[in-house]
Structure 1
Amino acid sequence: PADGLWDHEAVRNSNDPIAASDVRIGIPVTDVDAATRAYRILLGAPAADRQWAAANGSLVLLDANSDLSVDFVVPDEARACAQLERRGLSATDHAPIGVTEAIGPEVEWPVLDHIVLTHSDADAAIALYAGRFGLSLRRVRPLGDELAQLFFRTSTVVVEVVAGPAMADRDRFGGVAWLTEDIDADQERIVEAGLDTSEVREGRKPGTRVCTVRERVLGTPTLLIEQSPRLDDMS
């Protein structure tokens, strides 16, 4: 990632208790050893036991009986929770979405390109993520059949929410996309290491190329994406 792509220090020192920056993802897996091996291939060695640090977030493997979690990193967790309660959200209303002030070790790579969430109603999703969590709504893309893609941003991560009635029975977390600078080389590397991975193909967004890592042990749909211009360059 280029220097200056985001300013973590500005968020940490912000007077806004819900000035979200990075994203911390906790993923339950049925086979921790197999998942750890797969993530080592995909992302490199973990920063700590079961945890991988990213330049703009972190991912931790949880036991199978744990609940998945997606936490936005904020300057002050207690103040952020109090602010959310003033905005009408209790600690359990928005599960598995929450906040944390835990910041992992600073690294330059890997980089989360975006995460995917789902919601049963587009207007309610905008009210939740923009109105209550304070994320910046950058784009709304109609998909037909009462579905829409909503693109939000923290200061460092794009949050894509697929919203509409068809999502009513879906889990709120829909997957992770990891940025790559050379998708052909990374796809070849992880295939040679034994991970089931699709061929590289053109992405939905012009200027992007993607491949899917089709490993159930990862615990969530996983995509590699190479892009120019970057997805976060949305106005």
Structure 2
Amino acid sequence: MLIVLPPSETKAPGGDGPALDLGELAFPGLNSVRGNLVDELAALPVDEALGVLKISERLRGEAEANLMLRSSPTMPAIHRYTGVLFDALDAPTLPTAALSRLAVGSALFGVVRATDPIPRYRLSGGTRLPDAPTLKSRWGELITEALAAEDFVVDLRSGAYQQLGQVPGALTVRVEREGKMVSHFNKQYKGELARVLALAEEPACGIDDVAEIARAAGMTVERDSGFQLTLVV
């Protein structure tokens, strides 16, 4: 089982790992696109990057971080991403076996495993770099092929990142309250579910296993048609 999380716009600064080495990342079939994107971001002047990335002057530091993608320190991906979902996941308290079940979708790296060392960066799934095709077009079938090699995928990515590489047969999760989709706390509940699944004694091998593990943890889930579960909160 591989649980694929959505990335966060915010990234933890710093790190104590060596500079980015694409050869150290999982899913090596993604490295050609990874390398091109890294080089293009690093070459993009900061003033231009603010507009391309659709961020304000207040976030200039995030655009500046892209200039040093090849030289800045790295840290494990699961600690690089921050925010509500990652707070609920509480990765620092997870054992190695649980971390091995986690991955994160990424506009820049396609998908990385929890322990893959990555630098701080800024690039969203809907961003289009100057004079270049869309990210969806650039990734093509590469992310799909990488994840299709896994026995069973729980795809918790948001729509923009699922579009970068759909995974046929993957389980997706909808968060609902009183018959309506939850938006504000969606990430929190997905983080809690990811933690429960990562810590399960035996990895889930299918949708029924996921439902059983979630229910045993006190969660309310309903099986929808196809490969979707609804987490009722």
Report the TM range for the smaller structure's normalisation. under 0.3
- With structure 2 as the length reference, what TM-score do the two structures score? 0.28
- With structure 1 as the length reference, what TM-score do the two structures score? 0.28
Query: Bigger relative contact order, structure 1 or 2, given CA contacts below 8 A and separation 6+?
Result: 2
Bigger proportion of residues as strand: 1
Bigger proportion of residues as helix: 2
